Amino acid sequence: MDPAHAILFEPVKIGPVTAPNRFYQTPHATGFGWQRPQASAALRGVKAEGGWGVVCTEYCSIHPSSDDSPSAYLTLWGEEDVAPLASIADAIHAHGALAGVELWHGGAHASNRLTRLPTLAPQTQPALYHLPTAARAMDLSDIRAFRGWQRDAALRAKRAGFDIVYVYAGHDYLPFQFLSRRTNQRSDAYGGTLENRVRLLREMIEETKDAVGDTCAVALRMAVDELHGPDGVTAEGEGRDIVAMLADLPDLWDVNVAGALGNDSKSARFSGEGYQEDYIRFVKGVTGKPVVSVGRFTSPDRMVSQIKRGVQDFIGAARPSIADPFLPAKIREGRADEIRECIGCNICRAANNEGVSLRCTQNPTMGEEWRKGWHPERIAPHAPDKVLVVGAGPAGLEAALSLGQRGLEVSLAFAERQAGGRINRESTLPGLATWARVRDWRLTMLAKLPNVTLYPESVMTADDVAGFGADHVVLATGSVWRRDGVGVLGMTPRDFAGALTPDDIFAGAKVNGPVVIYDDEHYFMAGALAERLAGQGHDVTYVTPQNLASAWTVYTDEQGFVQARLIEAGVKLVFSRYVTAWVDGALQTDCAYTGRTLPPLPCGTLVLATGRVPVDGLYQTLVGRVASLARVGDCLMPSSMADAIYSAHSYARELGETPQPLRREMPPHRGAL
């Protein structure tokens, strides 16, 4: 271990328990929920094995009136929940870490679509999701019942073996709804003055400590700024006052910003490492209890700085612990160069928002610990066969690395001078520089493998490949952007002679204004290109058949930031239109709803960002000529970098193995709702 990092491995006392080090995996979603406790246990167990001193669950509902279906979540509604949760705590304890459980009630955020119970809130208001439901104002009997639900769930958590039990007043959930003037205009003892609005949270902490505080630490997770300005809780205003009122009551403060989950887990495109420090740094000056916060920390030196400057006592992490569950172990063992650094792409958040199991661009094993038995640091050896990988984008690099780690003799051939493929282009877009970590980490690890050889500037023909003499050939030749305008919503091929694609822009094609970027792919590309071109001084119009800019980024919690950035950059936004023709500098568009042709838009350069097609010509000519031939990544199916890397890793890990059926976890009987 580098002596400069030793402070990160000091034990820290939290109430009646002691964390073995300062690495704290804060609560984060997995997509497994109460339906798949074995998958949850395996995932959290790997985190503990990787050296995290504290490993927490995702949000755990305390009562059926806090039902987030169809999103996955844990439950401690009754005694039948104790055993499944105990399996998660046991998996964490097996590696010497403390286990934390985040007790949760969503209030107006809870849809209750499964339980069909009334949605509860401090006041009558529209429910925040699944409209047109309204949330019912809680009366005093509801508040007493709610306090009982928290206490009962805490006792169940203690019986399940958890060491840290949360009171959760963040992310606009029910206890925070009582704190904020925006959502609490009550006139009784639980509304009005700040002291009254804090009353429920104080009671929750006191009653949770009374129930389990003899053996369990009671943590308070609270948003100190809801990012709604002076009308809400702010770090310099009521956020500081609330911390002062409750200063030493909880055993630990887990602090962040809120307003929405997207503010707390802001992508790298819109925030830097440790960006929450400006909001939360005051907390340690107000309380004598340990403090943890998050900031997408991947640099050990920055972690040490946070501790030494008194910003926090732990290094809180969700996304970095997903990208590399063994981050603490690598720092401890002096292998910081091997950390799989989080790129802040928020594909993990997209999985949660889509209602599917956790995934990660950097770490293809995330979420597959139980289902496929994958481990982020271990992979079964293979006979030292000779394998040729063609293409060094994200899929090619991953295939070469994983095959090399299995012991095969790998040759990686690629046409460009620099490995990286699409990464080299996409990481030059505004805010996406961290995406280069996908390339850099793999090149770092490949350089440590004597059985892997890279051949840059090597264009491979079918004859070259067939004559290479490899036992296995893996094609990772990528994809190109379409020129016919076919996209997610517009399925009719059209002739757009002279139009450019993102590939052309990256290649340095000349752009004449005014520029129109047509987005029918809806992820990051069109919006990021519009921002870049506007920043270069071009007159840019963004057109899409959707009614939002970069609409799919709703899932990565980025869409609002994308649209605001484009507006600030002066990009004109035109929604709900298909582009149907481009003639003599005039762009014809049709209304996406009525089909009516609308007045033309001036257009000197048309950029089509509608979809991609695989570059699979080499594959087609090699079918039948090479016995063991495979496609991976975009060459197989154009998609995200996360999917490309997963595809390559899956091929490499399963090469030579007996195919296994997809393993499904059958949910246990939960009793009547």
Q: What amino acid positions are annotated as catalytic residues?
A: 173
252 φ/ψ sector (left φ>0, alpha ψ -120 to 50, else beta): beta
Asked if residues 474 and 630 have their Cβ atoms less than 8 Å apart, the reply is yes
Residue 207 region, left (φ>0) first, then alpha (ψ -120 to 50), else beta? alpha
Of 306, 250, 318, 293, nearest to 55 by C-alpha is: 318
SS (H, E, C) 307-342: HHCCCCCCEEECHHHHHCCCHHHHHHCCCHHHCCCC
- CA dist 137 and 140 (Å) reads 10
What distance in Å separates the CA atoms of residue 169 and residue 143, rounded to the nearest whole number? 15
Other C-beta atoms lying within 10 Å of the C-beta of residue 523: 20
Contacts of 119 (CB under 8 A, 6+ apart): 65, 107, 108, 110, 111, 112, 127, 133, 134, 135, 136
Residue indicated by tokens 């080499």: 618
Amino acid identity, position 231: D
Looking up tokens 């792919």 gives 521
On whether the CB atoms of residues 431 and 420 are closer than 8 A, the answer is: no
Q: How far is CA 655 from CA 251, 399, 580, 618, in A?
A: 49, 11, 46, 21
Give the closest residue to 434 by CA, choosing from 620, 641, 197.
641
CA distance 448 to 24: 30
| Cα(600)–Cα(557) distance, integer angstroms | 33
Strands across the sheet containing 577-583: 577-583, 586-591, 597-602
Output the six-digit token pair for 301. 């030196």
The number of angstroms, rounded, from the C-alpha of 558 to the middle of its chain's C-alpha atoms is 11
Residues 356 and 196: their CA atoms lie apart, in Å, by 39
Q: Count CB-CB contacts under 10 A for residue 229.
A: 11
Helices (H), 16-169: 37-49, 82-93, 140-160
Q: Which residues contact 344 (CB under 8 A, 6 or more apart)?
A: 267, 268, 269, 271, 296, 319, 434
> What is the C-alpha separation between 579 and 137, in angstroms, rounded?
48
Distance CA 220, CA 487 (A): 46
